Amino acid sequence: MPKINLANLKVTAGRPYPMGPIVYENAVRFTIFSRHATRVWICLFEDTGDRAPVWEYEYDPQLHRTGDVWSIYVEGLREGALYKYRMDGPQTPKRFHRFNANNYLLDPYAKAFVGDIHDGTMKCVAVHDYIDWSRGHRPNTPMNQTIIYETHVRGITNHPTSGVEHRGTYRGLIEKIPYLKQLGITAVELLPIHEFGENLLGRCSLDGAIELTNYWGYSNIGFFAPAGRYAVSAVNREHLDEFREMVRDLHAADIEVILDVVFNHTSEGNAAGPTLSFRGIDNSIYYLLDAGGRYLNYSGCGNTVNCDHPLVRDFILDCLRYWVAVMHVDGFRFDLASILGRDQQGNVLEDAPLVRRIAEDPVLRDTKLIAEAWDAGGAYQVGSFGGIRWAEWNGRYRDDVRRYWRGDGGTRAAFASRITGSADIYEWAGRSPEHSINFVTAHDGYTLRDLVSYTEKHNWQNGEGNRDGSNENYSTNCGVEGPTDDPEINAERMRRQKNFIATLFTSIGVPMLLGGDEFGRTQRGNNNAYCQDNDVSWYDWSLVEKNAEIFDFTKKVIALRKAHPVFRRDHYFEGHGSAREADLIWFDVDGKAVDWLSKDLTLGCRVHAEHNGYVALCILFNPTRREVRFQVPMGTWKVVIDTGQPAPEDCPGDTSTRMRTRDVDVLPVSMVVLAEDTHKGGAGSPGT
């Protein structure tokens, strides 16, 4: 940290924009918003651990305030200066204000933080916005070619088996880039990397041996700042550079970076929570409050950000622009995005100004925008969130695909719609399959291995009496709860994992794979591991070799998706024309048209050759516990996927044998994908 020569400090008036600290060669301008504060102090600190400032300066409202913006220019300061604010004003919670001049406050626009939020030593760092991007490029992967890998910066490399030098860090993720390339990933979607205020949760795991932490990080306090805890070094500004190095190296590998952003609440929590920043700066502007000044809680985390207020909208837009323009990220996944569209009374707006503004912002124009289109207050907007610029986590895809493969009755029609892009959800609004982010598992819930190993959640280690987490997961344990040595049960679990992987990557839409599912990562039945910063959540890389069969299968299926244009189509099937000419036809096991009112669950479809690079496909699904024989369209076929077979027959590739038959056997709880053998005049060719 640069030492402060107090005798050299000179204060003059600043200017009211842009917000935050602006660093000059020998000065720093400090600019902050507060409408209702009556007094504002800037506080400078010498060292990270200092609890008292070495210098304070009170803004003069006559000289240093323009409208609601307070700004001064301090000569004699350099980059790396540590600072916080104090503010005074009305202390009337029933009138929505919570000012306290004794609180040191973090700057919402700070680009870096150092210190510990829990012991009161966290401070803002004044930094430049620079890095040399001249050697970098943006992949700009089209949405229909995108394959998302959802992961956690710390969790992916913090296990002792990770094999990286810098475990649990941005640089550790850099070391895993060759692995991601090998797998076929085009984008990483990172759980929150922003500085978050709530880390220690104040309780222990069930056995009392582990102090629980907010591992996921959905508790922001520094919306512009990458978290220092994920850096090799975070003494001053190094964590910014390490984050940018990660982005640059991922881009060099043609992998995009999508950030999970949390604009729906902050770590200040409810009225009993700490005053860290927003609450002490202007509580009535930043949060949704009822008529009595109480926090409205549509996030489930104690407070709700007032996203409909114009000043808060500006803050969010400034933040998004910063991550795109300065940090070069490629997109955002908005946690509990329905809150972005709630008005100041909490009502969900039909055409929310902030949602529309993000979509139309010129700086964000080329970024990927993905909404988790629901919130904890009951809003559910899958299929109707934000218009054509917004893609959505398709929660209905997850549920319908899980229920179908579990064998739930009456799910065949919904399953057919999900795997063909969910036209019933999106087409009515002029949207396309690219708006559907398809996923079977995500950080919030079971891993894929646990989805086929548990019927009940096992969240006791979270210290909440197993009350947290979803009670309905549409899962199956195949006969035994949890791990087993039974070879038949383990074989069925392997088939089921393959079914989900094969379904995901042969579905129309944008696939998202939960990190570690490709090699059987388990959370031991915990479906809400938000507080498990330990081997419950960390990726055990020894499983790549132990579960090589599912790992190799996943790689091959991703490669198959990339090889067949139909899986990347950006428009829906029409189904018009004769059975021979239609782009897609559905058929039952007897080869006849599907009776969608039937209770039968087996299902087949054929994609016309002209819609798949002149290679016809047949896909056959059998979620039942009996072997079935499908009659498929006549042609010369080869098997490219058979989840009922062990490796390497499960995805045989070029070794697949040709067959000219209409009868194809599909084993219980499995699926088969057939590709036309174009070397022998296959289906769809003249005369067949």
Nearest-angstrom CA–CA distance, 398 and 409 = 16
Nearest-angstrom CA–CA distance, 365 and 389 = 9
Contacting residues for 267 by C-beta, under 8 A, at least 6 apart: 117, 196, 197, 198, 219, 220, 221, 273, 274, 276
Q: From the candidates 107, 256, 308, 372, give the one annotated as an active-site residue.
A: 372
Amino acid, single-letter form, for residue 96: F
Q: How would you classify the pairing of strands 82-88 and 39-45?
A: antiparallel
Contact indicator for 569, 611 with CB cutoff of 8 Å? yes
Nearest-angstrom CA–CA distance, 313 and 290 = 20
Nearest-angstrom CA–CA distance, 31 and 54 = 20
What separation in angstroms does the CA of 474 have from each of 7, 519, 664? 67, 21, 29
Nearest-angstrom CA–CA distance, 511 and 529 = 23
E strands, 290-444, are 331-334, 368-371, 390-393, 436-438
Q: From the candidates 330, 335, 392, 677, give the one annotated as an active-site residue.
A: 335
The tokens describing 121, both together, are 């030593």
Q: Is 424 a catalytic residue?
A: no
Count of positions (residues) in the chain: 688
DSSP per-residue string spanning 416-445: HHHHBT-HHHHGGGT--GGGEEE-S--SSS
**Could you say which DSSP state residue 305 is in?**
B
**Residue 1 forms beta bridges with which residues?**
none
Of 176, 177, 160, 156, nearest to 168 by C-alpha is: 156
Run of H or E including 178: helix 177-183
Nearest-angstrom CA–CA distance, 256 and 259 = 10
E strands, 54-175, are 55-58, 65-66, 69-75, 82-88, 113-114, 123-125, 148-151
Run of H or E including 674: strand 670-676
- Note the helical H segments in 192-259: 238-252
What separation in angstroms does the CA of 343 have from each of 68, 282, 308, 349, 662? 22, 18, 5, 6, 58
User: HSE-up of 194 (CA within 13 Å, CB side)?
Assistant: 27
Q: In this structure, what is the dihedral angle of CA atoms 419, 423, 425, 430, given to the nearest 10 degrees? A: 140
Contacting residues for 333 by C-beta, under 8 A, at least 6 apart: 189, 258, 259, 260, 261, 370, 371, 372, 393
Q: Is 444 a catalytic residue?
A: no
Nearest-angstrom CA–CA distance, 19 and 110 = 9
What separation in angstroms does the CA of 508 have from each of 130, 357, 358? 40, 29, 26
E strands, 496-650, are 510-514, 584-587, 603-607, 617-622, 628-631, 636-642
**Residue 44 forms beta bridges with which residues?**
55, 83
Nearest-angstrom CA–CA distance, 5 and 11 = 14
Peptide bond into 61 cis (omega under 30): no
Catalytic residues: 335, 372
